[in-house]
Amino acid sequence: MGSLLSIGIRAMMANQAAIQSVGQNIANANTPGYSRQSVILTTPNGQFTGGGFFGRGVNVQTVERAHNEFLTTRAISSKALAHMDSTSMDKLSQLEKVFPPGETGLGAAAGQFLSAMVDVTSRPSDPSARQVVMGRATELASRFSSAGQQLGELQAGVISDMRTNVDVANQLAEQIAFANREISGAIGTGHTPNDLLDKRDRLISNLSEYIQVSTLAASDGSVGVFIGGGQSLVLGAQAQRLSVSVDPYDVKRGTLSIGDATGSRELDESVLTGGSLTALLKFQNKDLQDARNLLGQMAAAMSSRVNGQQALGMDLSVPPGKGVPLFAVGAPRSLPSATNGRDGTGRFLTDVKLTITNSSQLQASAYKLQANSSGAPGTYLLTRLSDGVQTNIVDGDTVDGFKMDFTSGAPGNGDTYILEPVGQAALEMRRVLDQTSGIAAASPLSAATNIDNKGSTTVNSMYAVNDKLDKTQAPMTLTFGDPDPLDQAKLQYTLTLADGSVLNGTWAAGQRIGNEPNAVPPIDLGFELSLNGVPRKDDTISIEVTKYPATNNGNAKAFLNIQTEKFIGQRLQPDGSLAVGSTINEAYASSMSEIGSRVQGATYLSGVSVSVAAEAEASRAGQAGVNIDEEASRLMQYQQGYQAAAKVLQAAQSIFDELLRIAAR
């Protein structure tokens, strides 16, 4: 009779435990990260009697959670990638706004500035026409400067976001370590603390939003959490701390570091593969830097080209003088590593001075300079960071339009520098010409046709193109002769200089005279004379020093040509030839396209990775989550089992009472 009562009691307790677990599941059906719990029931060994083995009821062995390690790990990993791609998309979308299209863009501002010279060509001495040019120049410089400031604000925002994310990541790491401590203590009871395990999994999943993690289970029930290719973040009940350190080259940029007993170590960006912190680092080190260099390349080339043309003309000062610069831009920077050698006062022992030699050959890139361990003594390795091209250099070499000088001695073997020829150019661009009379609209030389000419030739333009122009060679006389025997479409001409020397050449419609690098021999007098109409034999054109700059528009016409000139991003080829660059509009359109393509790529990747993460989480939840219909069915099952067990107890009680009555007789 005792066995029947025991079986009934055990059955009731087992079904009550099962009902309790079902109730827990139903209560947490909508709790994120909750894993379905189930009571594990076992049958104890039977009791031997002469009539055989009789059962002794049921035991509640433990309560286990539905958990699939593979699906959980996959969900955590895909979540890290989704947050990295989403953060990249968000930051790149902000960067895209720095390169607006249409009338608000830099290309339009450059075009409006150069187009303003049209009125100056019509009215060279008109103050109002010159004032429009000054206004357009101010607007162009302001747009470049504003774009540079926006990039600076984005950089500050990246540092702020990194610090916020690091604070949250550190809190999560400490909570994981605390959960490890609790779980290790609970494991000693012989049962798994399911709710604590769910909590730890949820913390690890939340941590993966900020940085990609991997885990390794330990024998005491704790898990080690690793980042960056094996660097431990949590081991047992101990958590290391992440921090945002100052970049060794630029104090405005940051790096991600991890601290332990030996100090703080910088994490290599290349081994970080997921999470918002990884996206922020890559955005800072790649996208922001590329955008800054693209803007700087355009600003440096544009300002230098305009200033160069200014210097070739004459202004309206009294007496007329050589044009002074119209724009100024930020100087090139040489950024030494914080680990470079220093003297007793803390000053760096060496320095690298950068000088722009040809702004048209400047590239949209920063460079890394370091000792060349495999090269000849005195040589250094210069790496162009935009494409990884490496060049061996020595002190005083010129590469990509800038010169490097070791002003305080050669860098040591361990010294490294980041060189930014154009990094600050846009940010500090400004108009420096204050007087409208300073616009050098006049050409230093003027050309006029002879009144007795028989042809229809007129002078279209006459302006200086380089500093080889020598006004002491004026006056000059250009005389046309017979057609070229080799090409009847061309006319022979003779150019007689003031010293009596003579240059011979051939002219065809549209050809410019005075700057003919393809002639045999080449002609380079520092000016270009453009003609309209067709001259006849013996027609002459006189070239003289400009006497009345207020009525001359030669150099103003030269400004108009800048808009179609491909002077940005020219590159010197290994064979010595010069690769054609881009116009200012083409360069800006290319920059917009580059940033736009990155935004599109990030948007696509974000959509894919978010979808994959949702699918992975759905798979995990399908395996470990709560199904209300299933739980309702189990609730009815265990409820009926509980009721049946109660009937067993009731039957046992009735039998026991009847036996007592019989015994009482």
For domain 445-545, which architecture applies? Sandwich (2.60)
pLDDT for residue 2: 52
Domain residues of the chain, as ranges? 2-66+626-664, 333-421, 445-545
Tell me the residue type at 433. L
Three-state SS at 361: helix
Secondary structure E strands in 105-253: 214-217, 223-227, 231-235, 238-239, 241-246
Q: What is the pLDDT of residues 26-72, one digit of tens each?
A: 988 888 888 888 888 888 887 777 777 777 888 888 888 888 889 99
Residue 365 and residue 293 in contact, taking contact as beta carbons nearer than 8 Å: yes
The CA-CA-CA angle for residues 550, 555, 561, to 5°, reads: 145
Three-state SS at 343: coil
Distance (Å, whole) CA 247 – CA 472: 56
DSSP 643-664: HHHHHHHHHHHHHHHHHHHHHH
pLDDT averaged over the chain? 90
Strands 52-54 and 47-49: antiparallel
For the chain, list residues with pLDDT below 50: 1
Q: What is the pLDDT of residues 162-197, one digit of tens each?
A: 999 999 999 999 999 999 999 988 887 778 898 899
Residue 322 is given by DSSP the state B
DSSP 527-568: EEEEEES---TT-EEEEEE-S-GGG--HHHHHHHHGGG---B
Q: What tokens were used for 486?
A: 């080799």
pLDDT for residue 177: 95
Q: Is the pTM of this model over 0.75?
A: yes
Q: What tokens were used for 472?
A: 């002491």
* Helices 554-561, 289-312: crossing angle, 10 deg rounding: 160
Which own/partner pairs from 96-102 qualify as long-range (CB within 8 Å, at least 24 positions apart)?
Answer: 96/595, 96/596, 96/599, 97/150, 98/147, 98/150, 98/151, 98/154, 98/291, 98/295, 98/595, 99/147, 99/291, 99/588, 99/591, 99/592, 99/595, 99/596, 101/592
List CB contacts of 617: < 8 A, sequence separation 6 or more: 75, 78, 79
List CB contacts of 284: < 8 A, sequence separation 6 or more: 155, 158, 253, 254
pLDDT for residue 270: 85
pLDDT for residue 654: 83
Phi then psi for 320, rounded to 5 degrees? -55, 140
Residue 132 and residue 638 in contact, taking contact as beta carbons nearer than 8 Å: no
